[in-house]
Amino acid sequence: MKLVFVVFTVLTLFACGASSAKGKWNEEDRKEALKDVKEYSSALETVGSAKDLCFDCYIDSLEKIYDNYDAAKKLNEDDRLGILMECAIQYIHYN
């Protein structure tokens, strides 16, 4: 019985507190990154309805490089815009 309780507790903690890792951020980090990148949405006027694709591309790019969003926040604004513009280039003819 004690073993069942321990296993249940460990599984619950693992499922609820999944931490981010390079290449696989948790939902909280992805949501925070999305909220922050949407501040730059005026820079994406040329991609029209592909803004959401650009935001996803941006977050995916950061996720490949950084262990979590806290580490990625250290980027300066020019670097953030550079990554976002690289994503925009991919989707400029999406419409």
**Domain spans of the chain, in order of start:** 20-91
3-state SS assignment for residue 21: strand
Q: Give the pLDDT of residue 45.
A: 87
- Say if residue 93's pLDDT is above 90: no
Q: Give the pLDDT of residue 80.
A: 93
pLDDT digits (tens, 9 = 90+) for 20-76: 887 899 999 999 999 999 998 888 888 888 999 999 999 999 999 999 999 999 999
d(CA 22, CA 14): 17
Q: Give the pLDDT of residue 66.
A: 96
34, containing H or E segment:
helix 27-37
Closest CA to 37 of 4, 5, 83, 95: 83
Residues in Cβ contact with 86 at an 8 Å cutoff, skipping those fewer than 6 apart: 57, 61
